[in-house]
Structure 1
Amino acid sequence: MPTSALLSDVQSFRAGGPDARPALVLPPAPDSLATFEVHVPQGAIDDLRLRLSLIRWPDRETVRDWSQGVPLSAAKSLIDYWLHDYDWRKFEARLNRFPQFRTRIDGVGIHFIHARSPHPQALPIVLTHGWPGSVVEFLDVIDRLTDPTRFGGRAADAFHVVVPSIPGYGFSDKPTEPGWNPGRIARAWAVLMHERLGYERWVAQGGDWGSAITHAMASQRPPGLLAAHVNLPLVVPKSAPKHPTREEQRALENIEHYLNQMAGYADQMNTRPQTIGYALNDSPLALAMWMYEKFWEWTDNRGLPEDALTRDQMLDDISLYWFTGTGTSSARLYWEGVGSTIRENSFFSNSRASSAPIDLPMGATIFPSETFLAPRSWAEASWSKLFYWNEVDEGGHFAAFEQPEIFAREMWQAFTTFRG
């Protein structure tokens, strides 16, 4: 569509009409369960296309790699694909294939996928995403978990799968007051699983912020939670070991590299999420590059994000953030979860990773390109009931997104002892 036609359509859209909404408007969430489907107004899609067609590009980086951030050529290529080839409606239909709901918990509407297994003895599991992720991360594992017999597993491996959107992310409400930190989200998930869905026995899994939330659930030990598993063990000790083992030295180097080379995004969101949020909410280019860089930096790739995830996969996630207008609200979780503890300068004394010991059964799978490769010894020191630990050969920070087959197999194996 020519830019002039797009401009005319968007002006009409903004002026009024049957679909005159600047973004997706979420229906109110009841205290019970309300079914939910995603339908982004066409005017919002046209508005995105207009913005993509009117980008004012910066000058080219002065290096020939990604050391200054996303190269201009890579940025232009992704945006060109988003504008001319990407199909949001295809993803929308795929997402709506799964049963979705919204419910009000602690004053905030929570969106979640609830896919029940055809196998009656399935074990309920809640899967929690992180940033810059969303429920998109788990779409390729839901069928593998609910019906493992279709993918080489056993009926005894089946799960009833619950995938919530973190408050401020996706199709959950944006909190309008401070206090929605991982501990509060963990308590909301317990209400969701035990009270709203009626599960008396269930398990939990998460990565990135999902790992922090899962750790919080394990510490709280809500009714029915049997065990938890993470793909990012947050088990940093209170102080650095004086005589580290080889595995501990590797972990220490991970921490140093992260703090010196990778933490700029987090520093900004930990301290001033509202400021970066103006760009993330107003510019699809800013939002896309803020996220695309992490798909490059955190995945198991050979130099390009597309080695690990397809452009459609990444743009499904980026577009979800754009249409829900959650670039700013999602960034606030850093202010809530880390920003409140960065008043001192010690990583070890302030890290969200260092926490009180957990007595609930805990397990972990280590993916080789994760940002932080925790040693088993640190997990054993923090988790008194370590029931599963495995290091796999492929995958990175977005474990389920990058390696759905490996991730599903890990879930089948890890929770075997908690069935029946």
Structure 2
Amino acid sequence: MSIEPFHIQVSDEVLDDLKYRLDHIHWPDQLEGSGWERGTEINYLKSLVSYWREQFDWRKQESQLNRFSQFKCNVDGIDIHFIHEKGNGPNPIPIILTHGWPDSYIRYQKIIPLLTDPASHGGDPEDSFDVIVPSLPGFGFSSLPKHSSINNYDISELWAKLMNEKLGYSKFAAAGGDIGSGVTRYLALSHPELLIGIHLTDIGIIRDLMTSQDNIELSEEELHYKKSAPVWISNEGGYMSIQSTKPQTLAYGLSDSPVGLAAWIIEKFLAWSDCNGDIRQKISEDELLTNIMIYWITNTIGSSAGIYYENTHSLPPMGHIEVPTGIAIFPADILLPPKEWAMRNLNITRWTTMARGGHFTAMEEPGLLAEEIRAFFRPYRTKTQK
């Protein structure tokens, strides 16, 4: 399949079915006096669902998403959906941005114009990028093979072919967070000849540090991580445990109930954002619901959860990364990586602690992240080729 234009157009039947389900909710009870500590708080969710039913306008959001130049192409039997916006500047760097879970490709919608056209947003046109934002396989509008599994490494191979063979970039940049961080690191590990540099907002869960027996060799920050990471996983990682062991069982409920889907996703947005307990301080209800809708209208919550299973059971080990790497640490993110470990395992040329922000960096603080990405890649622009 060649590269073909893509336009989001959800059928009225899908939206009518959603409306029926939102009009016939079977609400659970919640223990009096409890809040978010037991999971998504019922009064907040009822308020969000009320907005969903009475005010949220999918057609408006659909139209806004369709402002971007979107495409689909087949890479190794998988139909990959992606945004491809050309930069407005003298020498744009191509950059592929990879999202995670439970967000989607819309994680980056606010940052795209800041990178493609910095001059229109208070920046320098010399810092422009060609921005490519794909949907992960099995997320949103990208397909997933029915007879084979796919993990972060496999996705990195798809991205290399998308950027190099399909789009014709002989050199490009890459950035990501959450699952996108893992995909980006594998891309740099396996195809350093294609990469100008990579930029990360996290390093995921550092398993080898958690199991290290050489405490004497670890820094104070690394020892803190070794103790705190298992506590975080125990208290906050239930979603990860089920998605990495029994994602199919979870998929039945979340694929059938839009409210169940919303509760599963929203809990993480509140817990992982720099929002002081009120997610609406950082991410609007329209943004939250549009992200949920991407999962609902494509029925991909099950396949998206399944990547945790594949990453747990089939992911190859990660080696030392030689490609120049920039890391932006957002203070309210989860499991902040120890700098010493990162310096040993990646070729870090820029490490920045940001003033504010949480896990969903490009949604919460698009301006801060855009400027940091511009600053990191500025010294490498002479190496760009197309």
Q: CA deviation at 1:320?
A: 0.8
Partner of 2:318 in structure 1?
Answer: 355
TM-score w.r.t. structure 2 length? Answer: 0.94
The Cα offsets for residues 240-290 of structure 1, whole Å up to 9 and x where unpaired, read as: 652554432442344123211011001000001110001111110111000
Runs of 4 or more off by more than 4 Å in structure 1? none
Code of the aligned partner of 2:275: N
Partner of 2:336 in structure 1?
Answer: 373
Tell me how many residue pairs correspond in the alignment: 378
2:367 maps to which of 405, 411, 417:
405
> Counterparts of 1:335 and 1:197 in 2: how far apart (Å)?
30
Q: CA deviation at 1:63?
A: 4.0
Q: CA deviation at 1:90?
A: 1.1
CA contact (8 A) 2:205 2:335 kept: no
TM-score w.r.t. structure 1 length? Answer: 0.87
Partner of 2:12 in structure 1?
Answer: 42
Code of the aligned partner of 2:323: L
Partner of 1:256 in structure 2?
Answer: 230
Mapping of residues 22-101 of structure 1, within 5 Å: 30=1, 32-101=2-71
Partner of 1:184 in structure 2?
Answer: 154
Matched, 1:314 2:314: no
Code of the aligned partner of 1:160: D
Identity, % of aligned pairs? 38
Partner of 2:299 in structure 1?
Answer: 325
> Counterparts of 1:179 and 1:44 in 2: how far apart (Å)?
28
Q: CA deviation at 1:177?
A: 2.2
Q: CA deviation at 1:120?
A: 3.5
CA contact (8 A) 1:129 1:210 kept: yes
The Cα offsets for residues 33-66 of structure 1, whole Å up to 9 and x where unpaired, read as: 0000000011211110110010010012344321
1:70 aligned counterpart, secondary structure: coil
CA contact (8 A) 1:254 1:371 kept: no
> Counterparts of 1:63 and 1:277 in 2: how far apart (Å)?
30
Structure 2 regions of 5+ residues with no counterpart? none
2:101 maps to which of 131, 140, 148:
131
The Cα offsets for residues 110-130 of structure 1, whole Å up to 9 and x where unpaired, read as: 000000012140100000000
Code of the aligned partner of 1:328: G
CA contact (8 A) 1:123 1:159 kept: yes
> Counterparts of 1:284 and 1:104 in 2: how far apart (Å)?
30
Partner of 1:227 in structure 2?
Answer: 197
1:271 aligned counterpart, secondary structure: coil
Which deviates more, 356-365 or 287-296? 356-365
Matched, 1:242 2:215: yes
Q: RMSD in angstroms over aligned alpha carbons?
A: 1.6
Q: CA deviation at 1:400?
A: 0.5
Partner of 1:105 in structure 2?
Answer: 75
Code of the aligned partner of 1:261: N
The Cα offsets for residues 80-109 of structure 1, whole Å up to 9 and x where unpaired, read as: 111111111111111110100000001110
Q: CA deviation at 1:301?
A: 1.1
CA contact (8 A) 1:130 1:208 kept: yes
Partner of 1:23 in structure 2?
Answer: none
